[in-house]
Amino acid sequence: MRLIVENLACRRSGRRIFSGLSFTVGRGEGLMVTGRNGAGKSTLLTMLAGRLKPDGGSIRAEGIGEASLPECLHVIGHRDGLKSALTAEENLGFARDLLGNPAAHPKAALEALGLPHVARLPVGYLSAGQRRRVALARLLVCRRPLWLLDEPTAALDLASQGVLAGLMKHHRSEGGLVIAATHQALGLEDARELRIEPSPPPSRPDEALQAEEWL
């Protein structure tokens, strides 16, 4: 698979967030998306996931046959999308049955994230870092070539950051693609960096309402 982004532009609430973003990510490659708070990193990932319409430019994928781009990617965002009342194993089983490989084992995914002991605990009982690791374990029960990771190390301790770096390395070694929005090194040091520079603040008086976002 190859992802090709050309001249991408975004507006939210009428305000330009970014424009002119172009990059490609191919088999086995990684891209670190960096930039200041509010620069548009999460927005870019949301757009790549097909959940936000670009204001200009294009996003296309090669080498995915009849599949659509959203069918070829996995998003790990700020919200983990886990159901608190279900156990870690049930959450992963649900994700696997909905999206994933029937042969994938939730227990094996939890073991890969160092969490076999929480398999039968409701996710609502887990710590923030444990919840994040369960969310990351979903990557292993729904195998998809493109991983879109938004601050994936949030709440992870150093050991878990190392595990995540290993997962990304393994995924890329199998031809997978990783795009990660981050403020810190992720073990993706050999990846290219896309730095999003903030757009200038609005200057016209009729944009004053939207300019509140800049305060």
Ligand X SMILES: Nc1ncnc2c1ncn2[C@@H]1O[C@H](COP(=O)(O)OP(=O)(O)OP(=O)(O)O)[C@@H](O)[C@H]1O
The angle at the Cα of 172, spanning 170 to 175, to the nearest 5 degrees, equals 120
Nearer to ligand X by Cβ, of 1 and 181: the residue is 181
Does 212 sit near ligand X (CB under 6 A)? no
* Distance of closest approach, residue 147 Cβ to ligand X, in angstroms: 17
Kindly state whether residue 42 participates in binding ligand X, applying the rule CB under 6 A.
Answer: yes
Q: List the structure tokens of 157.
A: 């301790």
Q: Cβ of residue 103: shortest distance to ligand X, in angstroms?
A: 35
Report if residue 173 touches ligand X, rule: CB under 6 A. Answer: no
Rounded CA-CA distance 65/132 in Å is: 32
CB of 12 to ligand X, least distance (A): 3
- Cβ contacts of residue 84 below 8 Å, gap of 6+? 122, 123, 124
Alpha-carbon span 81 to 123, nearest angstrom: 11
Burial class of residue 127 (count of CB atoms within 10 Å of its CB; 0-12, 13-18, 19+): exposed
State the minimum distance, in angstroms, from the CB of residue 194 to ligand X: 12
Nearer to ligand X, 123 or 156 (CB): 156
- Asked if 76 is part of the footprint of ligand X (rule: CB under 6 A), the reply reads no
Among 38, 57, 122, 129, binds ligand X (CB under 6 A): 38
Of 98 and 208, which has the nearer Cβ to ligand X?
208
Angle in degrees, 0-180, between the axes of helices 158-173 and 128-141, rounded to the nearest 10: 10
213 is an interface residue for ligand X by CB under 6 A = yes
12 binds ligand X (CB under 6 A): yes
Tokens standing for residue 165? 């770096």
- Using CB under 6 A, pick the residue from 3, 5, 17, 47 that binds ligand X: 17
Q: In which residue are the tokens 């294009």 written? A: 58
The binding site for ligand X (CB under 6 A) comprises: 12-13, 17, 35, 37-43, 181, 213
